[in-house]
Chain A
Amino acid sequence: MSLGLFKIFISNFDIKLWYFILVSAILFCIGIFGVLTRRNLVQILMSVELILNAAMINFVAFSAYQKPESQLGTVFAIFIIIVAACEVGIGLAVILSVYRSKSTTDVSKINILKW
């Protein structure tokens, strides 16, 4: 049903593929920016989520525009969600243990290399 809605949506509004690609790219860049810039570990995790979502959009868009009948992109999107969920779970566990040992979530403060 949603596929049908989607078809109607895009045929009515004449949305090209590259709009989705662009959005995905922008999101990806924002995500990368966040990973590299943020101080807080949780913020970095959230940025990683953003990157994953951007990839998901990419998948879905390509699948919708190239071969709408096979729902490959959508299926893959579910994979991505699952992976993201697991990863976040583990990531949060790691952040928790880091917080427990260092009592901080500042990424620049968890350096225990001597030099």
Chain B
Amino acid sequence: MDKIIWIIPVIPVFGFVLTLFFGKRFPKAASVFTTIILGSCVLLSLASIFIFNSRGPLEITNILYVTGKYSITMGFAADGLTVMMLNIVSIVSFLVHLYSIGYMQSDSRFWMFFMYLQLFSASMFGLVLSNNYIQLYIFWELVGLCSYLLIGFWYEKRSAANAAKKAFLTTKIGDVGMLVGIFLLFFNSGSTVFKDVFKFAAGSGVSQGLLTASAILLFCGAIGKSAQFPLHIWLPDAMEGPTPVSALIHAATMVAAGVYLVGRSFPIFSLSAVAMQVVAFVGAFTAIFAATIAITQNDIKKVLAYSTISQLGYMMFALGMGAYVAGMFHLMTHAFFKALLFLGSGSVIHATGTQDIREMGGLFKKMKVTAITFIIGTLALSGFPLTAGFFSKDYILGFAYSQNKYVFFIIGIITAFFTAFYMFRVIFVVFFGKPRKEGIQAHESPKVMTIPLIVLAALSVITGYFGAWFIPERFSIDKFISFFGFEGMEPLHVIPMLIAVAVGLLGIFAAFILYLKKPMTGRNINRWIIPLHRLVNNKYYIDEIYSFIFIRPLLRLAGFVNIVDKVVIDGFVNLTGKFTIVFSKLVNVFDTRAVDGAVNRVADSVYLGGSKLRKLQTGDTSTYLSIMFGAVAVFVVSLLISIIFIK
């Protein structure tokens, strides 16, 4: 029974390969086939819940390589956390596949979209099923690659290609830190397997500094992947990708990978108070920071993007405070309602052809299903009572309150207010009121798109009730377990719950007043609101700051290196070429003049000699006679001399 867990990541790989080879010819079949594959993944994930509950964690490992103290292993392991993630990923991915059949139908590269979705799903499954850090890193990078491919799916658009590049590079910065953290752990503990590393960390003789450093470095990876401040810049730009991509990757799953990492490494984090503080502060700051930006955005997807960043901040700060269960629970509920909101916005975009909320209005009458599900999703996000978001968000806030971390509690409350405010702003502007732009023919989307919306809306409500059931029971840090019961709902602490609900309602009311009743139209708005608005609308100019500090000098350096390359290196190569040409010319000259010359000289000398010797043949008889007598005389003289001297 243990062995079956590897099937879950493998079937989408199978789907990926098949779509790669046959998708172009049978796009419709490919889309349906891939959706069915994910459907089977859903069933397997659900099955695994029951298996886990009855048999405990499953694992298969394989030792690849051992050198001395170090060994590299590969393997899959599924404990409670993994089972929860498997279900989240498979359900959302399945619904996104279904939705994309409708949403992407007029795209020329329809089949490639599904191919990428399959690859992504496989990578995500592999990531949560990994039982060691190196494998996790491999799948982490694979997921990043799929994100790049999918964000830049419409690569003809310059902004989309740039956004994909930005996403990949920004997450890569975090990944470097993560890799260093992994190495730190590996070299000190001798293994990358989670079990062994955690045992090592909890053991004696491990310095606090090492734990803190490796925890913070691992968190760097999470900062990049889960778009926390300061590496959050890629997520809003990633909205250039098709909406199903935003729903799947940038709301529900890939960005959750960072939270999963911190959750998985919780034994290490919890041993270092400093690391926990860092996580909590980064998370809390990101939450409120992103929420303020979301208020001023006019693009519906960007609002949702900043909302995602903010909610991820919530999860991080929950983990940082030590509320492991609450953080993970919020991850699950958020995945469902954020995916719902994104898919709903996709439905709206598909219908109206624009993403700017200032051009929409009064869509409620024309798109009932979309509107209702969207409102349910927003209520969940705002923590409205009885929705899943209410339970998860209030666990977090209640935990902060009861642990007397009042600073965090207040930050969380303010963020909740902003969250309710900006989401309902979107609802009132988009779905109610009069249409702001004429000529928009809004219609309800096809069933393939609305069914996922309905399913997700249902999940957004239901998961609140039995969601806690998924959270791993057997977890070594006891004090957090005792705080949350698992067989039923623990009575929530009343005061924080009331405050949170009140704040949420206040946000809704404020949005109602400002955007539906429009009290401020025509009135003089306070003079310092406008520059403040501009500051926040432009995301506090962080992209510009980064561009100034990092990107431009880097580009200048690259330009400089390019010049060096062109002038020095190419120049050197060209010089060598020219030198060779000159040299060959020289050799040519040598060949023609010296070698050929020598040959010619020889011939000439023969000729000259001949022409000179020819003169001997004068034809003049007396000359011949004189030569003859001369020769005789010479002969006689020599004879005489020889006789005399030999005598």
* Contact, CB under 8 Å: A107 / B614: no
Q: Does A110 contact B (CB under 8 A)?
A: yes
Cβ contact of B614, chosen from A32, A44, A111, A115, cutoff 8 A: A115
* Contact, CB under 8 Å: A112 / B625: no
* Contact, CB under 8 Å: A107 / B622: yes
Determine the residue in chain A with the shortest Cβ distance to B633: A32
Question: Bound state CA distance, A32 and B631, in angstroms?
Answer: 13
* Contact, CB under 8 Å: B617 / A35: no
* Chain B nearest CB, measured from A30 CB (Å): 13
Contacts of B626 in A (CB 8 A): 36
* Interface size class of chain A, counting residues whose CB lies under 8 Å from the partner chain: 10 to 19
Contacts of A32 in B (CB 8 A): 629
* Contact, CB under 8 Å: A111 / B625: no
Q: Does A113 contact B (CB under 8 A)?
A: yes
Cβ contact of B619, chosen from A35, A37, A111, cutoff 8 A: A111
Question: Bound state CA distance, A113 and B614, in angstroms?
Answer: 11
* Chain B nearest CB, measured from A54 CB (Å): 14
Determine the residue in chain A with the shortest Cβ distance to B620: A111
Q: Does B526 contact A (CB under 8 A)?
A: no
Cβ contact of A113, chosen from B617, B622, B625, B629, cutoff 8 A: B617
Question: Bound state CA distance, A32 and B621, in angstroms?
Answer: 14
CB contacts under 8 Å to A, within B603-634, are 614-615, 617-622, 625-626, 629
CB contacts under 8 Å to B, within A26-40, are 32, 35-37
* Chain B nearest CB, measured from A51 CB (Å): 10
Interface centre among B617, B619, B626 (most CB of A within 10 A): B619
* Contact, CB under 8 Å: B620 / A108: yes
Contacts of A44 in B (CB 8 A): 621, 625
Contacts of A112 in B (CB 8 A): 619
* Contact, CB under 8 Å: B629 / A35: yes
Determine the residue in chain B with the shortest Cβ distance to A114: B619
Question: Bound state CA distance, A14 and B614, in angstroms?
Answer: 55
Contacts of A113 in B (CB 8 A): 617-619
Question: Bound state CA distance, A22 and B620, in angstroms?
Answer: 32
Contacts of A36 in B (CB 8 A): 622, 625-626, 629
CB contacts under 8 Å to B, within A78-115, are 107-108, 110-113, 115
* Chain B nearest CB, measured from A92 CB (Å): 16
Contacts of A35 in B (CB 8 A): 625, 629
Question: Bound state CA distance, A54 and B395, in angstroms?
Answer: 156
Determine the residue in chain B with the shortest Cβ distance to A39: B622
Contact A111/B618 with A32-B629, A35-B629, A36-B629 known, Cβ cut-off 8 Å: yes
Question: Bound state CA distance, A44 and B615, in angstroms?
Answer: 24
Determine the residue in chain B with the shortest Cβ distance to A48: B625
CB contacts under 8 Å to B, within A1-53, are 32, 35-37, 44
Question: Bound state CA distance, A107 and B624, in angstroms?
Answer: 11
Determine the residue in chain B with the shortest Cβ distance to A111: B619
* Chain B nearest CB, measured from A38 CB (Å): 8
Question: Bound state CA distance, A35 and B615, in angstroms?
Answer: 22
Determine the residue in chain B with the shortest Cβ distance to A108: B620
Question: Bound state CA distance, A108 and B626, in angstroms?
Answer: 14
Determine the residue in chain B with the shortest Cβ distance to A113: B619
Interface centre among A35, A37, A112 (most CB of B within 10 A): A35
* Contact, CB under 8 Å: A107 / B621: yes
Contacts of B621 in A (CB 8 A): 44, 107-108, 110-111
Determine the residue in chain A with the shortest Cβ distance to B621: A107
Contacts of A37 in B (CB 8 A): 622
Question: Bound state CA distance, A115 and B620, in angstroms?
Answer: 11
Interface centre among B614, B615, B617, B625 (most CB of A within 10 A): B625
* Chain A nearest CB, measured from B537 CB (Å): 109
Question: Bound state CA distance, A107 and B620, in angstroms?
Answer: 7
* Chain B nearest CB, measured from A71 CB (Å): 27
List 24 interface pairs A-B (beta carbons < 8 Å), by A numbering.
A32-B629, A35-B629, A36-B622, A36-B625, A36-B626, A36-B629, A37-B622, A44-B621, A44-B625, A107-B620, A107-B621, A107-B622, A108-B621, A108-B622, A110-B621, A111-B618, A111-B620, A111-B621, A112-B619, A113-B617, A113-B618, A113-B619, A115-B614, A115-B615
| Known A108-B620, A115-B615; 13 more pairs at CB < 8 Å | A35-B629, A36-B622, A36-B629, A37-B622, A107-B620, A107-B622, A108-B621, A108-B622, A110-B621, A111-B621, A112-B619, A113-B617, A113-B619
B residues apposed to A, CB below 8 Å: 614-615, 617-622, 625-626, 629
Q: Shortest 5 CB-CB distances between A and B: which pairs? A: A113-B619, A111-B619, A107-B621, A36-B626, A35-B625
